[in-house]
Amino acid sequence: VNLHGSVALVTGANRGIGQAFTRALLERGAARVYAGARDPGGVTVEGADPVPLDVTDPESVASAARRLRDVDLLVNNAGIARGAPLLAAPSLADARAEMEVNYFGTLAMARAFAPVLAAHGGGAIVSMLSALSFLNLPAVGSYAASKAAAWSLTNGIRTELAGQGTLVVGVHVAFVDTEMAARIDAPKVAPDEVVRQALDAVAAGTEEVLVDDTTRGIKAALPRDLELLYPDVRRQWATR
């Protein structure tokens, strides 16, 4: 997919990785970048077109799809992480909220924009996923489950959209230096690096991006995850 001259819509474009996507798309010659945000007044990237968009609100999603008929690249970036364990969380509220944004929000956007992308020769969808799509860490157990669901969804829509020629790119990364990971004390990837690799993949037609060594190691260990990954996770959880 040619980024030069493309028309992109980025969800959660007001900060973090979404803001980096918005800026980089303009730098790479996108003709227009719609910066979707719950508060479009918070969009700061010069040259972007702020658009009100809450991915959990069906009317907001439908209205965006009605108005933005020229989109050929959808970046499903909006996400939340509540930092909740699966069992010790006081209620299901955090788990439901994470599914609402990370899974149902992503699905709603893909459903609404699939016909728009089809009308422009197929285009592309980028899903911001995670190393935690592959591995459940119990301190963020419900977030990881929502990202696993979003990974499955990404693989599923790739199949369903193949007939209309839409490229579907899943981007997996460990910690990224944004507000979401502000309380994490560990090495973090720069948002610009995530976006550089993601947009290179769109340009090259690559379907999966494993941004960093941690993520590549986890994906490679999946066939033997119960032996290679979960014993360490359990040890760390027991001694926390």
Find the angle CA(106)-CA(184)-CA(215) to the nearest 5 degrees: 60
User: Do β-strands 124-128 and 73-76 pair in parallel, antiparallel, or remain unpaired?
Assistant: parallel
* Binds ligand NAP (CB under 6 A): choice among 11, 154, 166, 214: 11
Handedness of CA 49, 113, 130, 207 (dihedral sign): negative
Which phi and psi angles does 114 have, rounded to 5°? -55, -45
Q: Are 35 and 24 in contact (CB under 8 A)?
A: no
55 binds ligand NAP (CB under 6 A): yes
148 binds ligand NAP (CB under 6 A): no
130 binds ligand NAP (CB under 6 A): yes
Task: For residue 34, indicate whether it is catalytic.
Answer: no
* Shortest separation between residue 144's beta carbon and ligand NAP, angstroms: 10
178 binds ligand NAP (CB under 6 A): yes
* Binds ligand NAP (CB under 6 A): choice among 6, 8, 16, 209: 16
Q: Are 75 and 126 in contact (CB under 8 A)?
A: yes
- How many chain residues are in contact with ligand NAP, going by CB under 6 A? 29
59 binds ligand NAP (CB under 6 A): no
Nearest to 53 by CA among 44, 43, 63: 63
Q: Which residues bind ligand NAP (CB under 6 A)?
A: 11-12, 14-18, 38-39, 53-56, 77-81, 101, 105, 128, 130, 173, 175-176, 178-181
Q: Where in the sequence numbering do the catalytic residues fall?
A: 143
